[in-house]
Amino acid sequence: MDRPVSRPRRNRRTGIIRSLVRETHLTPSCLVLPLFLHEGKVDVPIAAMPGCNRLSPDGLLRSAERAFHDGVGAIVLFPAIDESLKTKLAEECYRPDGLIPKTIRALKKQLPDLIIITDVALDPYSSDGHDGLVASDGRILNDETVEVLCKQALCHAQAGADIVAPSDMMDGRVGAIRRSLDSAGYTDVSILAYTAKYASAYYGPFREALDSAPRAGDKKTYQMDPANRREAIRELRLDEAEGADMVMVKPAGPYLDVIAEIRRSTVLPVAAYQVSGEYAMIQAAAQKGWLDERSAALESLLAIRRAGADFILTYFAQKAAHWLKS
């Protein structure tokens, strides 16, 4: 009987050999932890996202410190804003002593080396629940929204944010924010552009966490159509030209092909956001005993890295850091 000359299994024979030839590596340093915060004095569990909470100021500082000491060097902040502060013009988003600026200053005092990324969008602050300003006829106003986003990004930079991440998907906002930051002297503040943010069904638990669902209509006129891949390259070209320092695909798992396409098409760092729905599905299956949480979570993150993401925003960040160390 002819026996095979080439035996790929030789490279799988032991754990050490598998490590030597491993093509993709997952480490705590390539993970970013999203954190939800609110003005309350206690942490409030998020039902749809087991293990995640709306954090009090003290709780957020503790969570950020634990993550940092576990090797997760960056966090991204998402605020749950009191209903009484939400308005049609979302003025709360750029108030200097608002929840996000206060939190940034506290974090920088306690953990000066922690990288702080802030979300730049209006939906947590808007009484309409949209990422942009809403006209009387229901249209999302692009250019008027960009003016507010520039104020918001500048407010975050002044408080000490390292990276601002416009997630709104308004046209031209990256260039406008870059000019606004530079003209104010914040040339070192980076922009992480949500380049390909899809109008996805996987955002539901996040909107519950922040109570930021649209009060009317949906986000399909500004977030991308899930059917489109080539359009992501068009968005990429625009963000590159406008001065983005890093680009992102959101969601991650259902859009691995888009991550790979973006990776092939740019020399900029590529991020991917493993969103709340992806997290919730793994957690739900693990609680039922249908999946092993650790194995499924790490495999999902490895797949996102393999597709081409340089770093990943994931609610598993701190757990994954523990698992990877062990």
Which residues are catalytically annotated?
197, 250
DSSP string, 158-198: HHT-SEEEE-S--TTHHHHHHHHHHHTT-TT-EEEEEEEEB
3-state secondary structure of 315: coil
Task: Give dist(CA 4, CA 126) in Å, integer.
Answer: 65
Distance CA 235, CA 239 (A): 6
Q: Helices marked H in 6-141 — which ranges? A: 15-21, 57-69, 99-110
Q: Using DSSP, state whether 13 is helix, strand or coil.
A: coil
**Bridge partners (DSSP) listed for residue 313:** 32, 273
Which helix (H) or strand (E) covers residue 276, if one does? helix 276-287
Beta bridge partners of 36: 54, 78
Long-range contacts of 83-89, Cβ-Cβ distance < 8 Å, separation of 24 or more: 83/211, 85/125, 86/125, 86/126, 86/127, 87/125, 87/126, 87/127, 88/126, 88/127, 88/128, 88/133, 88/134, 89/133, 89/148
- Identity of the amino acid at 309: A
